[in-house]
A and B are shown apart, each in its own frame.
Chain A
Amino acid sequence: EVQLVESGGGLVKPGGSLRLSCAVSGFTFSTYTMNWVRQAPGKGLEWVSSISSSSSYIYYADSVKGRFTISRDNAKNSLYLQMNSLRAEDTAVYYCARETYCSTPNCPLDYWGQGALATVSS
């Protein structure tokens, strides 16, 4: 069974940092591109970042570029999101999600974690 489990969310002050983790099981993690997608309270989905299977290709939304860093450890079957210089508008549930295989640079997201809530407030 495919499982993705996020952790590391919490309350942080503006300007602070958080590191989210996503532990995966049930599939060969090292062969899949992974994504982070967030959802602010009561709002829609916003793509945040993606990382290819070997970490060769990394992309960010403009809204987080220069502040967030995505990474992965294929030996530990884990995905990470280091979030620095956090702002109130970064408050959201953060989902890790697996991309399907496809022929384009971006592919549909076929498995999602349950989400981790990051709250940025003084």
Chain B
Amino acid sequence: DIQMTQSPSSLSASVGDRVTITCRASQSISTYLSWYQQQPRKAPQLLIHAASSLQSGVPSRFSGSGSGTDFTLTISSLQPDDFATYYCQQTYSTPPTFGQGTKVEIK
């Protein structure tokens, strides 16, 4: 199975900050990488697919980059609704594994 490792596991930031979350795959996955946001007590929501394609309806302050084994999710200017947990997922092979999550908290 492909292992997905996110860093950091948590971070504290203020409204308006630029935030970057990293996801590393244990082997190359090309650009078969998605990012999800999960707000407390809610289902996950797809933010980005194919490493850098913004899902319809997702604000443009979210962006993704990377290929191969190293990927990044960036929030350009953190908003109150963005305090949540973020997960990466590889869809290159079965099982489609998730990272352990990165919790973004209010500083």
Contacts and interface: CB of A to CB of B under 8 A. Distances in A.
Nearest to B96: A106
Interface residues of A, number: 23
A47 to B, nearest CB: 5
A95 B15 CA distance: 30
Interface string A20-44: 0000000000000000010000001
B95 A95 contact: no
Nearest to A114: B43
Contact of B95 (A47, A108, A109, A113): A47
Nearest to A60: B95
A121 B32 CA distance: 38
Contacts, number: 63
Majority SS at the chain A contact face: loop
Interface stretch (A10-18, A67-75, A97-105): A97-105
A88 interface: no
Interface stretch (B19-27, B66-74, B75-83, B85-93): B85-93
Contact of A105 (B34, B43, B94): B94
Contacts of A112: 43-45
B7 to A, nearest CB: 14
A62 B91 CA distance: 17
Contacts of A45: 36, 38, 44, 87, 89, 98, 101
Interface string B20-54: 00000000000010101010001111100100000
A115 B100 contact: no
29 contacts: A37-B44, A44-B99, A44-B100, A44-B101, A45-B38, A50-B94, A50-B96, A59-B94, A59-B95, A100-B46, A100-B49, A104-B32, A104-B92, A105-B93, A105-B94, A106-B32, A106-B92, A106-B96, A107-B91, A108-B34, A108-B91, A109-B34, A109-B36, A109-B44, A109-B46, A109-B89, A110-B46, A114-B42, A115-B43
Interface of B: 32, 34, 36, 38, 42-46, 49, 55, 87, 89, 91-101
Interface of A: 37, 44-47, 50, 59, 61-62, 95, 100, 102, 104-110, 112-115
